[in-house]
Amino acid sequence: MQLYDPYDYPLYRPPSEAYSLILQVTIGCSYNRCVFCGMYQTKKFHIKPIETIKKELAMFAEHYRHIDKVFLADGDALSAPTEFLVSVLDAITAAVPQCKRVSCYATHLNIRQKSPEELKLLASKGLTLLYLGVESGDDETLKFIRKGTTAHELITLSHKVGDAGMDLSATFILGINGAERDNTQHAIKTGNIISQMYLTYVGLLTLRLEDGSYLTKEAAEGRYTVVGIEEVVRELKIILENIHTEQMKAPVIFRSNHASNFLTLKGTLPQDRDVLLEQVNRVLKRGVYPEHRKYYL
């Protein structure tokens, strides 16, 4: 079969899926309401026909010999009906038997809507990692960004994922409230929620205004101001200070190495919390200046 480009662009994946096969099974995001997100504003959400997906898989399997991980795009592939996802996972096993892991983005709504049995079934078929944008542990911030959920629900949903035998990777956004709103509560409660959620990975991002997002329009009209680097690093410090290591039940890999971040941190919680905090304090003590675009420790 001739190699062709099957993708509906723009196409996104988590940084950690850089070497995975991207299999687009849904188009867009079924939620599409978060104020900071412009990723899928140009797309109308729909599910791709299973026959199209099988054809693409056969083509990828013929041309790429070393596929060991598959990422299901777009924005919340978990929103698709369980029966459909089982067909996709079975097709992956048939076409790429050497595949060791399948993952996808998920929203709180997707996880809420799936029963524990459905999640277990999907995990048994190979879908063993979900990426969830939590963004904040603060209910006021979650309301501001129109996340449509609460910190309490996010904690509960994370344990539902863990009980099903899946790993969960959560992202949080530094500077999300902008200069007009309270970022301290956002940081304190984000530290708290990291301590209480079932998580395998935590990734910190820094807010960037994306084309097409509501916040970008608000900023253009003077109602939203992106915070400076020093404020972002201060938030990072408060988050780390408010991670209650004694509440953490399992190791969590902690990263702030996304391209959007000024300060790159890597460690495993709970044991590296104090070392990470010390690194942030050192940077704050030295001084953070606007001309610092990136800081590697």
Q: Cα 215 to the chain's mean position, in Å?
A: 19
Q: Which of 16, 67, 70, 75 is in the footprint of ligand SF4 by CB under 6 A?
A: 75
| Residue 122: other Cβ atoms inside 10 A | 24
Q: Which stretch binds ligand SF4 (CB under 6 A): 33-41, 77-85, 121-129, 196-204?
A: 33-41
Of the pair 107, 141, the CB lying nearest ligand SF4 is at: 107
Of the pair 142, 240, the CB lying nearest ligand SF4 is at: 142
Q: Which of 61, 70, 102, 133 is in the footprint of ligand SF4 by CB under 6 A?
A: 133
Contact 85, 127 (CB under 8 A): yes
Q: Which of 21, 25, 34, 280 is in the footprint of ligand SF4 by CB under 6 A?
A: 34
Q: Which residues pair with 205 in a beta bridge?
A: 173
| Residue 63: other Cβ atoms inside 10 A | 11
Only one residue has tokens 């190979």, namely 126
Of the pair 35, 284, the CB lying nearest ligand SF4 is at: 35
CA dist 12 and 74 (Å) reads 7
Only one residue has tokens 């000024």, namely 262
CB of 38 to ligand SF4, least distance (A): 8
Q: Which of 21, 37, 129, 248 is in the footprint of ligand SF4 by CB under 6 A?
A: 37
Q: Name which of 226, 231, 157, 163 is nearest 196 in CA terms.
A: 157
Q: Which of 16, 20, 24, 107 is in the footprint of ligand SF4 by CB under 6 A?
A: 107
Residues lying near ligand SF4 in the complex (CB under 6 A) are found at 29, 31-34, 37, 39-40, 75, 107, 133
